[in-house]
Amino acid sequence: MYRQFLSFLLLLGLFNGCATPEPKEKPLGQLVDESLEFATQHSLLMAESLKDQPDRLPQTIDKEGKLVTCNSAWWVSGFFPGVLWYLYENTPTDTLKDWATNYTMRVEDQKYTTDNHDVGFMIFCSFGNAYRLTGDTLYRDVIRTASNSLITRFNPTIGCIRSWDYAPWSAKWQYPVIIDNMMNLEMLEWASKAFDDTIYSHVAETHANTTLKNHFRDDFSSYHVVSYDTISGQPEKKNTAQGYSDDSAWARGQGWGLYGYTMMYRETGNEAYLKQAENIADFILNNPNLPEDKIPYWDFDAPDIPNAKRDASAGAIICSALIELSQYVSAEKSKAYLSVAEMQLRSLSSPAYQANLGENGNFILEHSVGHMPNGTEVDVPLTYADYYYVEALLRMKKLLNK
């Protein structure tokens, strides 16, 4: 009887054309929901772990796998509060709201930051999401102060917000502007509308226009740092700080540019920004060094590709930007961008990048690169990788539910 049953099963397999059916891919909606739930579990553990250190925020892990934290002044301070707000948006529980509020308030003193450009990252990822989801005017006031701080760094002769002041960069560059700075413009565009004052959008759009002119190469890859001559207002040097070389395409920088011009198109409707975002997307998606799982090496021109380290943070930023950009382009391009974004979400949500619960310092993703030339934060979790990954999951969820 048993032998007969086995023969029956075998016949059934042959009849179907194969003995072992291919495993089916999980439906994308299910993958997104499960990943958001998993991200929530990680993030609640993270929030608990720092409850007795009220001035610390998650940054990365050390060589022993121990959580490394920062104070509010480090540029990544706003990302974990932002993760908590996104997760609260997905599942509005009191616990998530309390933690999101708690971690947001840890960053408040940065509204007075005038010695670097990162005030946009720090305040808008935290307070921006807080205001968007609660409407509490306390958050709005903080964003106004922060926006006033940020525009003090604008030089009209150059047409850009200065990124960094401090050593060693102050010795090398007269007026460094990094591609990352595009990300700080979202807060200014928001402030302009919220406070009905074009000073903020004037600064943001002038900065975006100057960057469009000077930061990009003919193939639409970008330099990391462009330094300007403070007398003539013209570029004096085009270099890198975190990429492989001055002429290479540092992966996260390409992500910042893509995200930045997509966001600027959303905020202004200026077609030049949309065109730029599409050109950057094409550079990334057609790059022969973009791996099959669509998570970039830390630099598209890293000399040791295919053994170079991946940068999950760049993958997450690009993924989130592509989901948004897919809504502004032709049907053909939209399909192509969404297909890559889906592959990126599937990769990042797989065991290849996603950490086990209770490991990885309670960060969600592994395998990012912070500063390869310095040898710091190489192949580690980074709080901003988690932020843009969770943002991308939510963006995809909203798109699927449209």
Choice between 226 and 274, CB closer to ligand GLY: 226
Strands (E) across 219-350 are located at 225-228, 235-239
Closest approach, Cβ 75 to ligand GLY, in A, equals 6
Beta carbon nearer to ligand GLY, 212 or 382 = 382
Closest-by-Cβ residue to ligand GLY is 180
- Of the pair 190, 298, the CB lying nearest ligand GLY is at 298
State the catalytic residue, choosing from 62, 109, 118, 301.
Answer: 118
Q: Which amino acid is at 165?
A: D
Q: How far is the CB of 255 from ligand GLY (least distance, A)?
A: 9
What are phi and psi for residue 87, nearest 5 degrees?
A: -70, -35
d(CA 89, CA 87): 5
User: According to the annotation, is 266 in a ligand binding site?
Assistant: no
List of E strands, 230-350: 235-239
On whether 180 is known to bind a ligand per the annotation, the reply is yes
Q: Tell me if 229 is assigned to a ligand binding site.
A: no
For the chain, the first-to-last Cα distance in angstroms comes to 53
Nearest CB to ligand GLY, comparing residues 254 and 360: 254
Q: Does 377 bind ligand GLY (CB under 6 A)?
A: no
368 counts as binding ligand GLY under rule CB under 6 A: no
Q: How far apart are CA 144 and CA 200, in angstroms?
A: 10
56 is in an annotated binding site: no
Which residue in the set 69, 111, 180, 207 belongs to the binding site for ligand GLY (CB under 6 A)? 180
311 binds ligand GLY (CB under 6 A): no
Residue reference for tokens 């969404």: 338
Which residue among 129, 242, 268, 362 contacts ligand GLY (CB under 6 A)?
A: 242
What is the x/- site pattern for ligand GLY, positions 56-85, by CB under 6 A? -------------------x----------
Per the structure block, which two tokens stand in for 161? 């917000």
30 phi/psi in degrees, rounded to 5: -65, -45
Q: How far is the CB of 250 from ligand GLY (least distance, A)?
A: 9
- Does 111 contact ligand GLY by CB under 6 A? no
What single letter denotes the amino acid at residue 79?
A: F
Answer yes or no: are the C-beta atoms of 340 and 355 closer than 8 Å: no
State in angstroms the smallest separation of the CB of 242 from ligand GLY: 6
In this complex, which beta carbon is closest to ligand GLY, that of residue 43 or of residue 242?
242
Least distance CB 240 / ligand GLY (angstroms): 12
Q: Which pair of structure tokens corresponds to residue 153?
A: 């760094």
Amino acid at 251: A
94 catalytically annotated:
no
**Sites for ligand GLY among residues 120-179 (CB under 6 A):** none
Distance, CA of 17 to CA of 231 (rounded, Å): 74
Distance CA 38, CA 100 (A): 17
- Is residue 252 involved in binding ligand GLY (CB under 6 A)? yes
What is the secondary structure of 1-67 as a DSSP string? Answer: -HHHHHHHHHHHHHHTT-SSPPPPPPPHHHHHHHHHHHHHHHHHHHHHHTTT-TT-EEEEE-TTS-E
**Nearer Cβ to ligand GLY, position 370 or 381?**
370
Eight-state DSSP code of residue 399: H
Q: Segment 8-47, which members bind ligand GLY (CB under 6 A)?
A: none
CB of 121 to ligand GLY, least distance (A): 7
The reply to whether 240 sits in an annotated binding site is yes
User: Does residue 288 have a cis peptide bond before it, meaning omega lies within 30 degrees of 0?
Assistant: no
By CB under 6 A, residue 299 contacts ligand GLY:
no
Closest CA to 289 of 249, 346, 239: 249
Among 136, 180, 247, 299, the active-site one is 180
Q: How far is the CB of 136 from ligand GLY (least distance, A)?
A: 28
Closest CB to ligand GLY among 180 and 278? 180
* 3-class secondary-structure state, position 97: helix
Instruction: Answer yes or no whether residue 104 interacts with ligand GLY by CB under 6 A.
Output: no
* Catalytic annotation present for 301: no
Pairing, β 176-178 against β 160-161:
unpaired
Q: How far apart are CA 61 and CA 69, in angstroms?
A: 8
Give how many residues touch ligand GLY by CB under 6 A. 5
User: Which positions are annotated as active-site residues?
Assistant: 118, 180
Interacting residue ranges for ligand GLY, rule: CB under 6 A: 75, 180, 242, 252, 370
